[in-house]
Amino acid sequence: MPKYRVVTPKGASFTVAGSDYSFEREALDPIDAEIVEAPANEAEFIAAAKNADAIYAKGIPITKSIIDALESCKVITLGSVGVDSVDVKAATARGIPVTNIPDTFIEEVADHAMMLLLAGFRRLVEQDRMVRDGRWAEGRPALLKIPRLMGQTLGFISFGRVARAVAKRAAPFGLRMMAYDPFIQETLMYDHGVIPATLNEVLSQSDFVSMHAPARPEVHHMLTEKHFRQMKKGSVFINTGRGATVDEESLIKALQEGWIAHAALDVLEKEPPSHNNPMLSMENVTLTAHVASASARFDEARKRRVGYELSLVLQGMWPVSCVNPSVLQNTALRRWQPVSMDRGPNS
C-alpha cells in the first residue's frame, strides 16, 4: 500500500519529486504516493480528502469546511501565486502549511502587463477593429489625441516580484516610475529606478496605474470609486493581479464617464465574466482571459513545483514557499535549504 495519499481535483496533475528532473533527484527521494482524483464539489471532495496526507488545491476553493474535515493533512499546495482559493486562516488554525509558487511565472506576467500597458495606451484593439471594419482613415486621428509614451509616469500599486520585473521592462521606454507599497523597502524601489510614493500620489500623478496587489482579504476592493476619481483623465489602468482587489462597478463607471481613458485587464471580479458585464462591449477596455502566467513552460513548471513542495513536506522538510510560515515552527518538519527552483531548460 502506498505510504501517502495525495488528493487533487480531477484533471489537476503534478510531478512527483524524483520522477523526471535531475535537480529533484538530487534533493529528494521519490515519494510513494497514491494520487487520488476527487470530484470538484465540496461534499465529495471532503469524502476523498478526509484522510489525505496532502492536497493540491486547484479548481476548487479549499474552504474552512474542507479544512476542518481534514484528519491527517500535512500540506495544502497551490499551483499559483495567488492564495485566494484557500482559506489560509482556517489552515493556519489547524496548523497546516499552505504553499504557493511565487517565483515561477514572474517573467510571463511581467511581459503580459507590459503588453497590456502598450496595447491600452496605443489603443491596439480599437485600431485593429478600425482596419478590419474598413475605417482605415479613423486610425490616425484617434492616436493624435494621445501623448507619446516617453516621459509618461507609470505607478505601481504593490511592488512585489512581478511589478519589479515590469519596472525593468518599462525603464527602457523612458517611463518615469513610482510605487506604493508599505511592505517593501524603499531601497528596493530606488534600485529599480522607482520613486516610493503614497497611494494618493500614485493615483493622482500616474499616466499608467499597474495593479499588483495580492489577492488577500485585506485588499478586497482596495480600489473604489474615490480612487478612480483621483486618477488622471487620460490614464490607463492595468491589472494582472486579481479582479477582487478592484471594485469593478466603480471601474466601469470611471471608464463610462471618462474619469480615466482605458483599462487593460487580465483579471476580473467574476471569471469568466457574465455575458452582461458592460466591459465586454466597451471600446476603452482591453481584456485577456487571466492568462498572464501562461507560456509553453507553464504546465510543466507548475506541475514540477507543486510536486516539489508537497514532496518536501511529506518527506519531513520545510516547503520552499509557505504562505503561513508561523505554522512551521510547530510542526516536526526540518528546516532545509532547498536548491534553486529556477534552473534547468524548463524552469
Ligand X SMILES: O=C(O)CC[C@@H](O)C(=O)O
User: Which positions touch ligand X (CB under 6 A)?
Assistant: 80-82, 105, 293
How many other C-beta atoms lie within 10 A of the C-beta of residue 206? Answer: 27
Check if 271 is active-site: yes
Q: Which is nearer to ligand X, 284 or 293 (CB)?
A: 293
At its nearest, how many Å lie between ligand X and the CB of residue 77?
13
Determine which one of 122, 216, 220, 290 is catalytic.
290
At its nearest, how many Å lie between ligand X and the CB of residue 108?
10
Kindly state the greatest CA–CA separation across the chain: 71
- Report DSSP state, residue 340: P
Q: Give the E-state strand segments of the chain in sequence order.
A: 4-9, 33-38, 54-57, 75-78, 98-99, 153-157, 176-180, 194-196, 208-211, 236-239, 262-265, 285-287
How many other C-beta atoms lie within 10 A of the C-beta of residue 137? Answer: 8
Determine which one of 44, 271, 283, 343 is catalytic.
271
Contact, 240 vs 112, CB < 8 A? yes
Q: Which residues pair with 62 in a beta bridge?
A: 86
Check if 290 is active-site: yes
Q: Which is nearer to ligand X, 191 or 271 (CB)?
A: 271
Q: Which residues contact 280 (CB under 8 A, 6 or more apart)?
A: 273, 287
At its nearest, how many Å lie between ligand X and the CB of residue 30?
26
- Report DSSP state, residue 274: P
Q: Which is nearer to ligand X, 106 or 263 (CB)?
A: 106
At its nearest, how many Å lie between ligand X and the CB of residue 214?
9
**Beta strands 98-99 and 153-157, pairing class:** unpaired
Q: Which is nearer to ligand X, 176 or 242 (CB)?
A: 242
Determine which one of 123, 212, 242, 262 is catalytic.
242
At its nearest, how many Å lie between ligand X and the CB of residue 190?
27
DSSP letters along 28-44, please?
A: -PPP-EEEEEE-SSHHH
Q: Which is nearer to ligand X, 38 or 268 (CB)?
A: 268
Active site residue ranges? 242, 271, 290
